[in-house]
Structure formats: C-alpha cells, structure tokens
Amino acid sequence: MSSIVAIVGRPNVGKSTFFNRLIQRREAIVDAVSGVTRDRHYGKSDWNGKEFSLIDTGGYVVGSDDVFEAEIDKQVELAIEEADAIIFMVDVESGITGMDEDVARLLRKVDKPVFLAVNKVDNGKRAEDAVEFYGLGLGNYYTIASINGSGTGELLDALVDALPEVEEDEDEEALPRFAVVGRPNAGKSSFINALIGEDRYIVTDIAGTTRDAIDTKYNRFGFEFNLVDTAGIRRKSKVKEDLEFYSVMRSVRAIEHCDVCLLVLDATRGFDGQVQNIFWLAERNRKGIVILVNKWDLVEKETRTARDFEKYIQAQIAPFTDVPIIFISVLNKQRIFKAIETAVDVYKNRSKRIKTSELNDVFLPIIENYPPPAYKGKFVKIKYIMQLPTPQPQFAFFCNLPQYVKDPYKRFLENKLREHFDFNGVPVSVYMRKK
C-alpha cells in the first residue's frame, strides 16, 4: 500500500514538470500554454525507500483562468479529503496572487501535512524574493526549481517523513480484494447490493451518493473475499473535467490495494474516455480486470449486438484484449454471479505459478521455430525461461542480446504464454535478461 500525495496550485506554476521529475518519465505533456496537462496525471514515485502515489491535480482543468478559479476550490477540497499529504506549488516569478491566497485559505484549515513549494527559484536573488510567501500563513516553505530538480531533495525528505506508516492487516491481507470501479451511475452500488442480497448501500439515481471506498466481506458459493465499493463521486456537477478528476482520484486507492478490478460500465454510454482511464489505471498497476457491461437490458438488440459490442471494447483496449467481458443487468439480477465467478478465475490466473521446467519445455521449441528477428546481422539466442517471484505474472527470458529484442516479439511471447497457460484478465510482463 502506498500513500497518496496531491500536487495543487494554480495553472502554470510548474506542477507537471515537477510531477514528471518525480515519476521519472515524461508522463504529462508539458507546455507553456496553461491547462494543457491532459491525461497523465497519476504516477508512482519513491524516495528513501518509501513508495507513494502522486496525483497532479492540474491535469483536470482545461480552459481559461476564470474557469480554473471556479474549479480550483473543488479540486483542493477533494485533494484535502483524499490525499495523505499535499504539495502546494507557487511561482516566485509572479509572487503571491489572489488565487494562491484562495488555496492557502483552504489549506490553513487542514490537519494533514501541507508543503509549500516555491518553484522557479534558480538563483540567489529569487531565493530572497521567496520570503514573501511567508505571507500565505502556511509556515516554512521549500524553494525548488522543478525544471532542474534543485531543492527537490529537501522537500521530498520532509514529505516522506510526514507520510503515515501504512499498516497491513494480516488477516485481511489473506483474503482476495475485489474492487468495483467505474464512472458514476454505472450501477456499482446496485451491483454490490444485488450480490449481497441486502441494501448494504443506499442506492439512488443521483450520481455520486457513495462517499468512500467501503469493504464488505463476502462469502457465498464457497468464495470468500473482500468487496470494495469505490463508487466514485458525489457531486452533481456535470463538468466533464472535474467528474473525471473525482472518479480517478477515488479509484486510485481502491485499484492500488486490490487484486482484481470489476470495471462496471453503462451499456447505454459505451466505453468512453473516463472508463478507459480507469481501465488503464488498473492495467498500469498490473491488476486483474473483469469488464462488466451493465444495463444491457436497456440496449436495443439486433443480431450479434453483444459480439459487436465486445469487439468495440477490444478495439479500445488493444493490445491487452485478453480480458473477460460480461453483459449483466443488475436490475434483473442477470449474470451477476457469473461476474463474481469470473473475478475468482481471474484472481487464480493472477496468482498462478508455472514450473520452470514446464515453461522451458513449452517455449524452447516455439522459440526454435520462431526465433526473434536478427538485428544488424546479430542473432538473438534465448536459452532459458523462468517466472519471477512477483504477485502478478512476470517472466524473464534469458538471452545473449536482450537489447535487440523488440516489442512485437515480446508481444508474440506474451500471446504464446496466454495461449498455453490461461492468463485471461491479467496483465503479463515479459522481460529480456542477459544470460
């Protein structure tokens, strides 16, 4: 389990640059136009051996500063509610602005660790200018330059010291955790009620009546596991950006701490951008995934409708298409137990261990018949295969020139693994290692 750290602040203070530096990849698009951070606003980072998840809130507001002003309070409030610590970023070049004061006013009331980061401080003169930020009433500040990383070490030292120690509950850990995720109003709470056979959650037609991720121990048909209802969002606001922000923010923690995600989508709305975001979040965390298409009873049926819909979803999630898709109707209790049985199968696939001897017996002949393509006249020879001791399926292929094995061939190997050993619903990682 990792803590969640949110980066807040007005546009253009350098949140995305800082975020990219921490997750060590250019995950967000960085540009001088305010509000261009689009899709990549979530990543993992670690410092001094402590892992945490990082959320760049800036990515969720697109448009002019006045649109932003309306949204920033909501975002900061949500970050305050969901995150374990908050980095509030300001810009030494522009000094304290009205919007900064606005955010500071919200943050002063918080009993969580707040770190004031004064960005773009890359010389002594600017370090002197930073003194004015004491005026925000948040105590000490950290001067950083996210473009070259200066000062970030001190900030991160203080940050990880302040993060809560995450305690694992031994008994709970033993039980598989299934998280029910999806966009608001797709039927997540109703699905759980139908499973449990009691109104454990209040279900209404207003999007977002479920507040927090709630765990329910579930024991039926000989399955025992924890069901986590993330049921995203409780705001009635229809602003796409902020809905997206809330549901992603709500889903992050649940997805990180589960084994299998049951992704519920509304058949009448399709596999839209927000559902895809949640799907890729689960995939990036290497979790088992089952896609549940709810409200299938409301869809006009023609010949092969289900098959067409399945193909349409697979086109959106390629190349990871080996994912079970189940058409359900929570209202009519259609196939909801099939959904759980499938999730149990996916859980078993995710924890499957394959003997090294069996892997080599299956793969060496395949590799002999279809070797990796030669690269610059050099031939790659794969000698040995083993599964790595990780919670999810990862395989190491030992060879003489690992750097010459390209993605298409790795995908070929992954497909063969799926063909022979059934990893339906589970992301599989293939690594080339030097023999």
Q: Confirm whether residue 150 is marked as ligand binding.
A: no
Q: Does 59 show up as a binding residue in the annotation?
A: yes
230 is an annotated ligand-binding site residue: yes
189 is in an annotated binding site: yes
Say whether 137 counts as a known binding-site residue.
Answer: no
β-strand partners of 8? 88
Residue 56 among known ligand-binding residues:
yes
How does DSSP classify residue 217? Answer: E
Known binder of ligand: residue 122? yes
Q: What three-state secondary structure class fits 273?
A: helix
Annotated ligand binding at 296? The verdict is: yes
List phi, psi (to 5°) of 398.
Answer: -90, 130
Q: Is 188 annotated as a binding residue?
A: yes
Is the distance from CB of 255 to CB of 232 less than 8 angstroms?
no
Is 288 labelled as part of a ligand binding site? no
Residue 232 labeled ligand binder: yes
45 marked ligand binding residue: no
11 annotated as ligand-binding: yes
Residue 121 labeled ligand binder: yes
Q: Is 57 annotated as a binding residue?
A: yes
Where helices occur in 285-377 by DSSP H, the ranges are 305-317, 336-350, 356-369
Cα 54 from chain centre: 10
Confirm or deny that 366 is annotated as ligand binding.
Answer: no
| Tokens 């590799």, located at residue | 367
Residue 187 annotated as part of some ligand binding site: yes
| CA–CA distance, 122 with 333 (Å, rounded to integer) | 61
2 is in an annotated binding site: no
**Residue 428 · residue 352 · CB < 8 Å:** no
Q: Is 95 flagged in the annotation as binding?
A: no
Question: Are the C-beta atoms of residues 216 and 226 closer than 8 Å to each other?
Answer: yes
Judge whether 244 and 62 are in contact, CB under 8 Å.
Answer: no
The H or E element that residue 15 is part of is helix 15-23
Residue 184 is assigned to a ligand binding site: yes
Q: Is 151 known as a binding-site position?
A: no
Q: Is residue 9 a known part of a binding site? A: yes
Q: Which amino acid is at 188?
A: K
Neighbouring residues of 386: CB distance < 8 A, sequence distance ≥ 6: 356, 359, 395, 396, 398
321 is in an annotated binding site: no
Whether 186 has a binding-site annotation, put simply, is yes
**Was 14 annotated as part of a binding site?**
yes
- Do the annotations mark residue 58 as ligand-binding? yes
Q: Does residue 139 have a known ligand-binding role?
A: no
Answer yes or no: is 307 a known binding residue.
no
User: Is 74 labelled as part of a ligand binding site?
Assistant: no
Q: Per the annotation, does 287 bind a ligand?
A: no
Dihedral sign of CA atoms 23, 26, 31, 35 in order: negative
Residue 182 is assigned to a ligand binding site: yes
Which of 276, 323, 262, 266 lies closest to 296, judged by CA? 266
Q: Give the DSSP H or E segment for 50.
A: strand 50-56
- Is residue 377 annotated as involved in ligand binding? no
The answer to whether 138 touches 88, Cβ cutoff 8 Å, is yes
CB distance 270 to 238 below 8 Å: no
CA distance 226 to 180: 11
Question: Binding-site residues, please?
Answer: 9-16, 56-60, 119-122, 182-189, 229-233, 294-297
Binding residues for GTP: 9-16, 56-60, 119-122, 182-189, 229-233, 294-297
